[in-house]
Structure 1
Amino acid sequence: MNQTSTPDQVDVIVVGGGNAGFCAALAAAERGRRVVLLEKSPQLFAGGNSYYTHGATRIVHDGLDDLAAILEPDERHAVSVVPTYTAEEYIDDITTLSQGRNDPERTRVLVTESHDALVWLHSLGMKYELLYGRQAHFLPDGSIHFWGGLHVGNVGTGVGMMRDYTAVAQRLGVEIRYEQRVTALLRDGDGPVTGVVIEAPDGSTTQLTAESVVLAAGGFHASPDLRAEHYGEEWRDVVVRGTPSSTGDLLVAATAIGAVTEGDFESPHSTMIDADYPENSSNRELTNTLARLSYPVGIMVNSDGHRFVDEGAHFRNYTYSKMGRHVLAQPGGRAWQLFDNSVRPDLRVDQYDMPGASVITADSIEQLAEKAGIDPVGLAATVAEFNASVDQSHPYDPTVLDGRRADVEPPKSNWAVGLSHPPYWCYPVTCGITFTYGGLASDADARVLDESGAPIAGLFVAGELMGGLYYGGYPGGTGLAAGQVFGRRAGARA
């Protein structure tokens, strides 16, 4: 519920009610600042992209004992194996996936403050758990092995995260105003930013002034025009996985008063989503379950029956954010994930057993092709060649990079299992855009920069609107961590 309206002048305005925005608001409120959080969506549809996530947050840690203090009790902890995840590994993961183009100073800040940010949030009342249904394999001996560096998430996924953020913010005195579309920033020449212009649902406009403004309203993934401008016309009609509210309003507003942009404006975060589910765009009930992310243990083909990518290049966490654009490049912007019955138990239950999931099954590859609309001759040839090339000397082990490869073109570097155990399972997928990498230029204190590289007084940025952290891909769970770290920094300095 919205609280009592505030005066026209407040201390801190936060624009955007997702993970980063709430972190900024909480950090400012802790300092005794009068904070107003402006959310573009109605309350029923609030939460930004954060609502649609699994709540998974990548942090540095030293194993389960190091995490126990922030985790909800769970009897499975006794049989869980959680490998450490070091700062060096984290920095290397971001740098490798960005091909060295990421800003090193902000990368260091993100990594080194990731654990403390989650401890801080937990102290305020946020709830966390190990990601059993997403980042762990249950072994026959009864043990549970985690993998991929991403081990912790919010209780209740993104839905629970946003519910808890709202409760904590209200307890700390943050005023939340919904249906507040910020259309412009107030700045007199080269002076500080002094507030915002707000458009109400009826079209009327008002001004709200403050000492500081924190921009945390997401990027432009939900704008067909901006997608087409930056990525090409083929991106105009892609499925939007998350919030429909991130249309780039604040990117435009900030550049209009002298802010500059930086980062990757050539490729967004995009992964695979159920192609045939009738309501696969911005679905608030199914959220992340519409994604199809167990592709590393199977193969993917296009309508000609041809493979087009190395499905096993790395753990899913490191490749999923670029798979959508590979699918978009295929005929019709579609692909099919194929699995045989031997690996079917390793597919994510929340996604592949989702009620209403689009799936085709058959007892032969030819039947599967016919039912799915894939060229039968092409698929049969692809599967035969793939099966014959699997390196049988390496045992299949989905908990590690097992080196079990298939020497075909493109190769499959890990988890290569021949499709030879019927029934066969086929899932049609298409490209789903999640968020955009390019955004506003900023320093390590989350201050927005102008053309000279100097901070614009009174203006901060956090979350997906911050550019320069990722290029072409990112390690899963880093987005929420970055929003927490730089949202906290912005709120502590605003």
Structure 2
Amino acid sequence: MTWEIVDVLIAGGGNAALCAAISARRQGASVRIVEVAPKFYRGGNTRHTRNMRCAHDSATETLTGPYPEEEFFEDLLRVTGGNTNQELARFMISESKEMLDWITEQGVRFQPSLGGTLGLGRTNSFFLGGGRAMLNALYRTAEALGVEIHYDAEVVGLERDGDEFQAARVRIGESVENMPARSFIAAAGGFEANIDWLKQGWGEIADNFLIRGTPYNRGGVLRLLLDAGAQPNGDVTQCHAVAIDARAPKFDGGIITRLDCVVFGIVVNRNAERFYDEGEDIWPKRYAIWGRLVAAQPEQIAYIIFDSRSLKLFMPSLFPPIRADSISELAEKLDLDPQALNRTVTTFNASVRDGDFDSTVLDNCHTEGLSPPKSHWARRLETPPYYAFPVRPGITFTYLGTKVNREARIMMQDGRPATNMFAAGEIMAGNVLGQGYAAGIGMTIGSVFGRVAGKGAADYAQQ
């Protein structure tokens, strides 16, 4: 079966896809979305998000102060270690200033930013009702505008004439159907749910990874694009990876399995040894390094340990902490060597230099003569009961994707931009995120480049 041609065909159903669809439709283009997931699980990882990071010049009803473009750029450089396409990064940051108003115009609502350990009240806007509410608002707007949406629809082939897209082959049920379009937008996420692909970079340890988001992001569209001559961008091992509760499900555990308590205690591996500075920086700028750190430890598991003074200082997760009245008892419950854990805690406690504890700033509570150090928020573990969370690497999304230009056009291996193929969201996030992560920036990438891709695809189709 061959479907009627549309102006814009979009593969994907999350934030980037919907921003692209709405943008294209508001340009007057006819738009069709094909989403591989069933309707209940639509939206990829957007379902699990909470906020987005956008530059802004002044405080608003939901933001406590300005967040200038240059500060945003400096934050990005810091978390990526400079591994970013600076032209695209600056473009995205500049465009992000319009996104909060534009997203609101599409029906999304924001709430005042959360307090506590996140410390994002000035930089990030939180969705009222979370990511699913944000997603549902975009779907309502897209449907009201006449965007055609199909679920359980997997793109399994691309038909091209040179570098010009002609049609996609889409599996719906038992049949593979031909969907022609005048332009194509890939917004189908990364490949984090494809363990075999992860193993190409990580090896067998990828079997111990947990996938925080959708099980439907298996990289099918990305593989088709790379096979069709799209220029790859990024490293197969680079990804948004955080430390999540080791008791989380293999797939789709979402935001509620993340743990924000690293800065309030110590983190040890299977040998009951610390392996990194838990207080290196403000948590939103460092939480996304911990997945990779845990991945490098024996059996890809670690344990966050803290005492009763810190129990109420962070947002609770899905699973309760493991509790014990002594460090030895806690070690036994974690199947760690009690002597080794007691030695680690005793050495840590002896190195702590008291200061003015303040979880909202880089305080002066630190260790001396300890390797690795704890640079901030160091307090002795001495007030029972004691608590622990077991953690494993939780992969949110991968950074290997397609290279794009500032028009969101996919760059081909011969160095030219594709005639009518665009990409937005996680499938091209590695252009901006070569490594590392800052809270909320994934939604910024999807929204900005989705909107740009939608406009560009519509303009091409209507020429």
TM superposition score category, shorter chain reference: over 0.9
Aligned to 1:281: 251
Paired amino acid for 1:298: G
CA shift digits 1:263-295 (9 cap, x unpaired): 232322111111124x35314xxx311111221
Q: 1:209 to 1:135 in 2, by over 3 A?
A: farther
Corresponding letter in the other structure for 2:361: V
**What is the CA deviation profile of residues 374-411 of structure 1, one whole-angstrom value per residue up to 9, with x for unaligned ones?**
2111111111111111121x311011111322231111
**Amino acid corresponding to residue 108 of structure 2 in structure 1:** M
For the 8 Å contact 1:280–1:290, the answer to whether it is kept is no
The TM-score with structure 1 as length reference comes to 0.88
**Percentage identity across paired residues of the two chains:** 36
One of 158, 180, 197 as aligned partner of 2:169: 197
Question: Residue 460 of structure 2 aligns with which residue?
Answer: none
What aligned pairs does 1:301-450 form with structure 2 within 5 A after superposition? 301-349=268-316, 351=317, 354=318, 357-392=319-354, 394-407=355-368, 408-450=370-412
What pairs with 1:47-58 in structure 2 (closer than 5 Å)? Answer: 47-54=43-50, 56-58=51-53
Instruction: Give the distance between the partners of 2:163 and 2:70, measured in 1 at CA.
Output: 40
Counterpart in 2 of 1:25?
21
Distance 1:10 1:461 in 2: 18
Cα distance in structure 1, aligned partners of 2:384 and 2:190: 44
Change (3 A) 1:111 1:177: same
Who is 1:123 aligned against?
Answer: 105
2:461 aligned residue: none
Give the whole-Å Cα distance in 2 for the aligned partners of 1:34 and 1:60. Answer: 31
The answer on 1:243 being equivalent to 2:225 is no
Pairing of 1:28-43 with structure 2 (within 5 A): 28-43=24-39
| Partners of 1:130 and 1:151 within 8 A in 2 | no
CA contact (8 A) 1:213 1:458 kept: yes
Name the residue aligned to 1:484. 447
Following the alignment from structure 1 to structure 2, what is the Cα–Cα distance between the partners of residues 280 and 16? 22
Q: 1:101 aligns with which of 83, 87, 93?
A: 83
1:180–1:134 CA distance, 2 compared to 1 (3 A) = farther
Deviations 1:29-81 (A, max 9, x none): 11111101110011011110111222x101112453xx22xx5xxxxxxxxx8
Say which SS state the counterpart of residue 213 (structure 1) adopts. strand
Instruction: Letter of the 1:16 partner, please give it.
Output: G
- Which one of the candidate residues 252, 255, 263 is aligned to 2:234? 263
Q: Work out the CA distance in 2 between the residues paired with 1:242 and 1:191.
A: 32
Residue type matched to 2:40 in 1?
Answer: L
- Aligned residue-pair number: 455
Q: Distance in 1 between matches of 2:217 and 2:46?
A: 12
* SS of corresponding position for 1:187: strand
Distance in structure 1 (CA, Å) of the matches to 2:182 and 2:446 = 22
- Please give the alpha-carbon distance, in whole angstroms, between the structure 2 residues aligned to 1:38 and 1:162: 16
Does 2:46 align with 1:59? no
Q: Extract unaligned runs of 5+ from structure 1.
A: 72-80, 137-145
Q: In structure 2, which of residues 259, 265, 283 is the aligned counterpart of residue 298 of structure 1? A: 265
**1:83 offset after TM fit, Å?**
4.0
In structure 2, C-alpha distance between the alignment counterparts of 1:174 and 1:6, rounded to whole Å: 19
Shift in Å, 1:134: 6.1
For the aligned residue pairs, the C-alpha RMSD in angstroms reads: 1.8
Seen in structure 2, the aligned counterparts of structure 1 residues 134 and 439 have a Cα distance that, compared at 3 Å, is farther
Alpha carbons of 1:61 and 1:391: their partners in 2 closer, same or farther (altered >3 Å)?
farther
In 2: Cα distance, 1:31 partner to 1:6 partner: 25
Question: Which amino acid in the other structure matches residue 395 of structure 1?
Answer: D
Q: Would the aligned equivalents of 1:129 and 1:152 in 2 still touch at CA under 8 Å?
A: yes
Q: Which secondary structure state, in structure 2, belongs to the residue aligned with residue 93 of structure 1?
A: helix
Which structure 2 segments of 5+ residues have no match?
Answer: 458-463
Measure the CA separation in 2 of the matches of 1:293 and 1:267.
22
Paired with 1:246 and 1:133, the residues of 2 have a C-alpha distance of 32
**1:459 is paired with a residue of what secondary structure?**
strand
For residue 150 of structure 1, report the CA deviation from its aligned partner.
3.9
By how many angstroms is 1:7 displaced? 4.9
Match of 1:141 in 2: none
Aligned residue number for residue 85 of structure 1: 67
